[in-house]
């Protein structure tokens, strides 16, 4: 309940975060189920749950505990404070309207791709990816764009410290091949995600860079493989590059 053995973190906070993470993964659980999953006495878990409930972070119904919508409020406020989101939100709507597909906006945080914005066009195929999702950078076109344009040392740290888990048969899991892919992305100015995260799904994505070449975010269009042939990809790349420049101007100069 006090300092952890390392002296660098507070054990009670870590336990609270464990409960929040478990509920995020499982949806809802009873007190007993949470205690069993974490290997902690039910009396101890009950104290944590009551504290989280009092703070508005956990809610309970029919003895089932789940994370509350307070996290949605916090996340929404954090997102709204981001200059890149405010600049990109109307542009995502434009892209979705023009293409009819799903337009997405991602940033890098803690070595992951975070989806901070998405808009669905009239023919969009939803893959149920929630706003705010953290996922592996090498799984998605947005993530590969972000990773490709990070400073060299940061990029190498992420690659070497990550075991590059596989999502599909097409996921790039070899560090050498990933480095080649990232080099190609930097050279041509866009990334293609070819069923690397979800079977049957393809995307094309471009970076949003500062005038100095630093990565701010990435935007892209996602849809079924059969609607993303060479001709369509070429049209989307041109559109996305124009829109990325528009977002950059709004972010940097306004």
pLDDT score for 11: 82
**Would you place residue 76 in the very low, low, confident or very high pLDDT band (cuts 50, 70, 90)?**
confident
DSSP output for 179-205: HHHHHHHHHHT-EEEESSSSTTEEEEE
Per-residue pLDDT, 5? 45
Averaged pLDDT, 209-235: 95
* pLDDT tens digits, one per residue of 166-213: 999 999 999 999 999 999 999 999 999 999 999 999 999 999 999 999
Confidence of residue 8 (pLDDT cuts 50, 70, 90): low
| pLDDT in the model for residue 179 | 98
Which is more confidently placed, 253 or 143? Answer: 143
pTM of the model: 0.84
pLDDT in tens, 41-63: 999 999 999 999 999 999 999 99
Domains, the chain, with CATH or none: 11-68 (1.10.10.10), 75-253 (3.30.450.40)
Q: Are 103 and 142 in contact (CB under 8 A)?
A: no
Q: What mean pLDDT, rounded, does the chain reach? A: 92
The residue-averaged pLDDT of 103-118 equals 96
User: Given this model, what pLDDT does residue 9 score?
Assistant: 64
CA–CA gap between residue 138 and residue 150 (Å, rounded): 13
């Amino acid at each position: 309940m006090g300092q952890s053995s390392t002296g660098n973190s507070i054990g009670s906070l870590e336990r609270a975060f464990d409960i929040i993470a478990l509920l995020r993964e499982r949806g809802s659980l009873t007190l007993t189920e949470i205690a069993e999953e974490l290997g902690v006495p039910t009396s101890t878990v009950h104290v944590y749950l009551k504290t989280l409930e009092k703070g508005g972070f956990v809610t309970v119904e029919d003895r089932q505990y789940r994370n509350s919508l307070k996290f949605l409020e916090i996340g929404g406020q954090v997102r709204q404070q981001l200059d890149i989101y405010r600049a990109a939100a109307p542009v995502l709507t434009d892209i979705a309207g023009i293409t009819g597909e799903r337009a997405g906006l991602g940033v890098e945080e803690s070595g992951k791709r975070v989806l901070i914005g998405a808009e669905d066009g009239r023919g969009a195929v939803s893959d149920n990816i929630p706003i705010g999702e953290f996922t592996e950078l090498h799984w998605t076109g947005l993530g590969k764009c972000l990773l490709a344009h990070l400073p060299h040392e940061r990029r190498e740290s992420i690659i070497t410290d990550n075991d590059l888990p596989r999502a599909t048969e097409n996921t790039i899991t070899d560090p050498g091949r990933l480095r080649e892919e990232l080099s190609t992305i930097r050279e041509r100015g866009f990334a293609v995600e070819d069923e690397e995260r979800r079977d049957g799904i393809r995307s094309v994505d471009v970076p949003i860079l500062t005038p100095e070449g630093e990565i701010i975010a990435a935007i892209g269009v996602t849809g079924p493989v059969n609607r993303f042939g060479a001709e369509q990809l070429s049209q989307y790349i041109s559109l996305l590059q124009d829109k990325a420049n528009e977002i950059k101007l709004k972010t940097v100069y306004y």
